[in-house]
Amino acid sequence: MRGYRDNPQANNEAFTVDGWFKTGDLAVKGYQVPPAELEAVLRQHPAVNDAAVIGIPHPVNGEQPKAFIVLKSNQQCQTKDIVDFVKERVAPYKRVDDVKIIDAIPKSSAGKILRRVLREKREFSSLLKKDVWTKEGVVKSPCQDIVIPKTTIDEYIWRNLDKWPTKVAMVCGITNRSYKYEELFKDSRIFGANLRKKFKLQNGDAVAVMMRNAPEYPTVVLGVLTAGGVVTTFNPIYTAHEVHRQILLSEAKLVIAHSDIVPTIREALKLCKKDLPIIVIDIDDILLEETVSYKELVNDNHVDLSVLKEVKRECDDVSLLPYSSGTTGLPKGVELTHYNVVANCEQQNSELRQYSHTTENDQDTTLAILPLFHSYGQGILMLHKLSVGLRLVSLPRFQSETFLNTMLTYPFNLMYLAPPMVLFLGSNPAVTPKHLEHLTSVTCGAAPLPPADIQKFLDKAPVGELLIKGPNIMKGYKNNDKANSEVFLEDGWFRSGDLAKIDQHGLITISDRLKELIKVNGFQVPPAELEYVLKDHPDVFDAAVVGVPDPSSGERPIAFIVLKEDAKADSGVILQFVNERVAPYKRIKYIKFLESIPKNPS
């Protein structure tokens, strides 16, 4: 941002003399992670399910041990507890000072720890930290510098309009009302022209926008920007006193809102002793007396668009004026220039890109439930995603049933959420892998997200079939067109038949074979997952799970178990142990005890 509007004291406190912005955040040095025969000691800790240790370079000792651990289900543990536990049981030179908690220890089919993979994972993580400190003691991003176009936000968003004019830009997750990109472009220009023509909006004038999330939100914002105005957004649940203060500080010339918010605005205008025009978003709402119809303005095809030629803006002009208290005091107007916002959009197109490029046949979909009046929802979500041709599905507020129904109706590829929503997805039993099957990325901000909540969410994520493509892949099965058509996709990808997950480091964990999947009421149940839980029981030596036909659910899992010597656990105890640790549709209802599990030579 350029600074806080008309607030030199706040600017002095927030900016250093040479232009650095003070975030108000503290950088606290985090734990790191360590080595070898120590695995046996680590596994003795009551919270540790599995462990692996590698050696990493050390400037003084040559090498030092680094441990990777997997916690038991529903266990929470600080790494310091693990360090102290090992410290009490080994000689000083064997101590583990670095511990890393991960989802799974990579192993070969024979159960051997793949230490090379762990070293690569550690090296990959270190790349993110490499060369971030300059000689002046400043932390610099490891990502490459980007070229930031010197243009306005609306010009930036429409620069690729010809690539996706008929793609849906914005759709309401409740009413299914939608706008294509070409409609959004046309409506925003007509709206902007009418703002100048009928309301005499001038370059740099502020327009107050007090709306809930709706498909018309981008038309309003882009319309104001097209008209040369500045958008100052309000929280739609603000009181009249809060609205009155922001109207005065922003010097807003008119107000745009939903009809049910108008009484609050009128009360605020009385406090301000102002009489500003009010435009009502009357798509679903009724038009109140002494207000102007948004619908009539955007449907005015006879407006003279040449009035937009009067608009004079530079990339350094203020575009958005949200109000934020920052770290202290009453809200202050944050002056965001066109260049600020365009830079933020371009940064999301760099190595950090999360979306797939929009093409004739492909378009990612994301959820717009974060408040669009807030910088997180407005910049990161709405403006950037429109600039790259994504489909946004808006919800005015969080309601669990509507939220989940929308996830099924519009399968999301990307989600931008606040911590309570992630916790809801991870802990609510109504959330199934079906809700998450198309999801490739989740971004969470606005508040800290505890690691335990992240894990709960990840546990809900479905596995998928691993597809492989490269010069090393076989040409095909000899004289077997049927088999080839089953394992090769049209674009050359080979279907491995393995069910896998890939983490943020690119580490692939294979969980099962696709053909061995059990389908319970349409949900996928990997036998290996249940076998893993069964083997966690102290009396179980070995286990195998298979699916059997079931008249009501299609299939159901049953387990075959080999008990340890002298173990006396009965099937009821083991069933309870498993069923307390898995989702209802994964529960086992029958166990058969065997002397050994039949296995092939491999």
Give residue limits of the domains in the chain. Answer: 38-127, 181-337, 464-512, 517-593
Short-list 394, 467, 452, CA closest to 419: 452
Candidates 3.30.300.30, 3.40.50.150, 3.40.30.10, 3.30.470.10; CATH matching 517-593: 3.30.300.30
Distance of CA 579 to the CA centre of its chain: 30
User: What do you get for the CA distance between the two ends of the chain, in Å?
Assistant: 61
Q: What is the mean pLDDT of residues 239-266?
A: 95
Q: SS3 for 237-291, per residue?
A: CCCHHHHHHHHHHHCEEEEEECHHHHHHHHHHHHHHCCCCCEEECCCCCCCCCCC
Q: Does position 63 have pLDDT exceeding 70, yes or no?
A: no
Range name among 382-386, 482-486, 515-519 with the lowest pLDDT average:
515-519
Q: What is the mean pLDDT of residues 274-300?
A: 91
| pLDDT score for 27 | 31
Maximum average pLDDT range among 21-25, 49-53, 365-369, 529-533: 365-369
Residue with tokens 């968003």: 157
pLDDT band at 368 (very low <50, low <70, confident <90, very high): very high
Average pLDDT, the chain: 85
Residue 576: how many other CB atoms lie within 10 Å: 10
| pLDDT score for 123 | 59
Beta-sheet strands, E only, within 489-594: 494-502, 508-513, 518-520, 523-525, 540-550, 554-563, 591-593
Torsion angle in degrees (nearest 10) through CA of 40, 45, 46, 48: -70
pTM given for the model: 0.65
| pLDDT above 90 as % of the chain | 46
Maximum average pLDDT range among 140-149, 203-212, 373-382, 478-487: 203-212
What span, in angstroms and rounded, lies between the C-alpha atoms of 449 and 23? 19
Candidates 2.30.38.10, 2.60.40.10, 3.40.309.10, 2.60.260.20; CATH matching 464-512: 2.30.38.10
* Fold match between domain 38-127 and domain 517-593: yes
Short-list 563, 520, 525, CA closest to 545: 525
Could you confirm whether domain 38-127 is CATH 3.40.50.10800?
A: no
- Per-residue pLDDT tens digits for 114-161: 777 787 666 556 545 555 666 676 767 777 888 999 999 999 999 999
Maximum average pLDDT range among 63-77, 84-98, 282-296, 309-323: 309-323
pLDDT band at 28 (very low <50, low <70, confident <90, very high): very low
| pLDDT score for 281 | 95
User: 181-337 sits in which CATH class?
Assistant: alpha beta
Maximum average pLDDT range among 100-114, 263-277, 530-544: 263-277
Greater confidence, 140 or 256? 256
What span, in angstroms and rounded, lies between the C-alpha atoms of 86 and 70? 15
| pLDDT score for 26 | 31
pLDDT band at 570 (very low <50, low <70, confident <90, very high): confident
Residue 94: how many other CB atoms lie within 10 Å: 16
pLDDT band at 318 (very low <50, low <70, confident <90, very high): very high
Q: What is the mean pLDDT of residues 493-505?
A: 76
